[in-house]
Structure 1
Amino acid sequence: MTETLLVTGASGQLGRAVINHLLEAQKIAPARIIATTRKPESLADVAARGVTVRAADFDDQASLEKAFAGADRVLIISTGDLDLKSDRRLKQHLAAVAAAKAAGVSHLLYTSMPNPEPVSPVLFAGDHYGTEEAIKASGIAYTIFRNGWYQENLFMALPHAISSGKWYTSAADGRIAHGARDDMAAAIAAGLASGSKESHIYTLTGPEAYTTGEIAALVTEVTGKPLEVIQVPDEALTEGVKAAGVPEDLARIIVSFDANTRSGRIAMVTDAVETLSRRKPLTLKQFLQANKAALLG
């Protein structure tokens, strides 16, 4: 197989991990990989490994078409331009889909989120849903990876909660199967390298779903620090997050994650990570043990 594989957002944490897995686990020749980013100089280390690095700006469809030229399979990693006051992120993704079609890409891959339908409490779910719909309408064969929440996302709340002994949440008894970012990257790289011609949707999760209370119990077991979970309404949690110095829009997004967990829309556990990557995913306890020092500050 001699298909050329392209990864957007390759200077980000997920993009870099996907490139590493393509080279190492999937044994893809560097000459078959294209990495795109707004700032090619940020990928000098990747270029040094023999990977082609191209400039691509999601706000400039012409730059995307130029970057995608000659690529057979394109992975669109969703951008980080969250803006609740505009549809900028969705427009960026739609530009990438249009560029892929114009460039004659044969297979389009995309990193979405679980259950992104319009009823989702997650405030940016519409960006993913709209992108998925555009991909399906493009006529290009596709693979959509609905990435669950990363274990690394727990760093947003746990260090402060551990230091204070109190974890404020509005997730109630909702469950969530956090997965390691690197495990999801390994699965995505495997899907990108697979050569599959069929369209698929995979939901990527960790190996077990926990309530906030169960996560807190694991944290206490690993760190030795007591952690009390305190359930509060969404509005009170939003005000608390804002009081910690988080901008209002980001605070609202963070709280929408808890509302989503409470609704049961992210409680699923799948074996897609292991099926695709053929490796055992990191458990939440293993993650906490590996990051004990960082969690304790």
Structure 2
Amino acid sequence: MSIVISGATGQLGRLVVAALLDRGVPAEQVVAGARDETRLADLAAQGVRVVRFDYDDPASLSAALTEGDTLLLVSGSEIGRRVAQHQAVIAAAQNAGVARLAYTSALRAGETALAVAPDHVATEQAVRASGLPFTLLRDGWYTENYATALVQARATGVVLSSAGDGRVASATRADYAAAIAAALTGTGHENAVYELSGDHAWDFDELAAAFATVLGRDVVYRRVSPEEHLNLLVEAGLDAGTAGFLVALDGNIRDGALALTSGDLSRLAGRPTTPLVDALRPLT
């Protein structure tokens, strides 16, 4: 029986593998799966079993799973296709008889208007319908999502957003990976739902101040309306669809969709989440 991590070439999946090894899970009991397993040579060198795990190739999914495994399904990135991809993984897990299926979902899935939530809600429904023991790991926002904004602030001294007074309880990917690894290895996590988020919900004035600290220059928060934000993004070269999506996300933040501080993440990880300034320093 192994712990199988899908999407192991991704930023989160790779960190979960590292967190499992840090927790003392023997490398031979960890399976790292990816569409292109040749990109996992560094993990193979550590004794981790690497396999092809392509959400679009059911045969690769079946070959990677065995009865009694614990499987982490890291959500795919192809919006519009990922529900079907996730369903293929769930079907393979059923057929293999895995002991538990964990899924990285979205914060407060099922009751949030978050723009990214619908695919996660559909996947959660499929996970529950599978009859397999499950753990739903509802991830909030990554602090690393603001790397581009940090670069822009270095150049302009401005954080521009239509999020208003909204707050974000972000945490680092490493924070999430530590919590996920704990849920994969510990007991009492069957059929559990965890709302994972940072310990502190910051607002964009705090984000600007944190940028100023790590950049060593003045940074201010410029509030704009959704309409102005959309126009500015399009003028900057983004296509209308991407620009609209980003403005919608800021609207979700403005409405409180990412402000939840449940404490689940730090409880699972066994430590506080990384403070905003400390999380931003590696991005400079």
CA distance in 2, matches of 1:196, 1:38: 31
* 8 Å CA contact 1:6, 1:71 repeated in 2: no
Q: Which of 2, 6, 19 is the aligned partner of 1:8?
A: 6
* Map 1:134-283 → 2, pairs under 5 A: 134-196=126-188, 198-283=190-275
* 8 Å CA contact 2:158, 2:208 repeated in 1: no
What secondary structure sits across from 1:190 in the alignment?
A: helix
Structure 2 runs not aligned, ≥5 long: none
- Counterpart check, 1:108 vs 2:105: no
Tell me by how many angstroms 1:241 deviates.
2.1
Tell me by how many angstroms 1:74 deviates.
0.3
CA distance in 2, matches of 1:186, 1:194: 12
Give the counterpart letter for 1:72 in structure 2.
D
Q: 1:188 to 1:197 in 2, by over 3 A?
A: closer
Give the counterpart letter for 1:113 in structure 2.
A
Structure 1 runs not aligned, ≥5 long: none
Aligned residue in 2 for 1:76:
73
Which region of structure 1 is more displaced relative to structure 2, 228-237 or 7-16?
A: 228-237
* Map 1:282-297 → 2, pairs under 5 A: 282-288=274-280, 290-291=281-282, 294-295=283-284
Percent sequence identity is: 37
Runs (4+) off by over 6 Å: none
Deviation track 1:13-67 (CA, whole Å, cap 9, x = no partner) reads 111110011111x201112111110111101111111111111111122321222
Q: TM-score, normalised by structure 1?
A: 0.89
Give the counterpart letter for 2:63 in structure 1.
K
CA distance in 2, matches of 1:170, 1:250: 15
Q: Which of 105, 113, 119 is the aligned partner of 1:127?
A: 119
CA distance in 2, matches of 1:121, 1:219: 25
Deviation track 1:228-278 (CA, whole Å, cap 9, x = no partner) reads 222222233223223333343332332222111111121111222221121
Q: TM-score, normalised by structure 2?
A: 0.93
What secondary structure sits across from 1:157 in the alignment?
A: helix
* 8 Å CA contact 2:183, 2:189 repeated in 1: no
Q: Which of 50, 58, 63 is the aligned partner of 2:60?
A: 63
CA distance in 1, matches of 2:38, 2:65: 18
CA distance in 1, matches of 2:277, 2:162: 22
Aligned residue in 1 for 2:19:
21
CA distance in 1, matches of 2:17, 2:7: 11
Q: Which of 40, 50, 57 is the aligned partner of 2:37?
A: 40
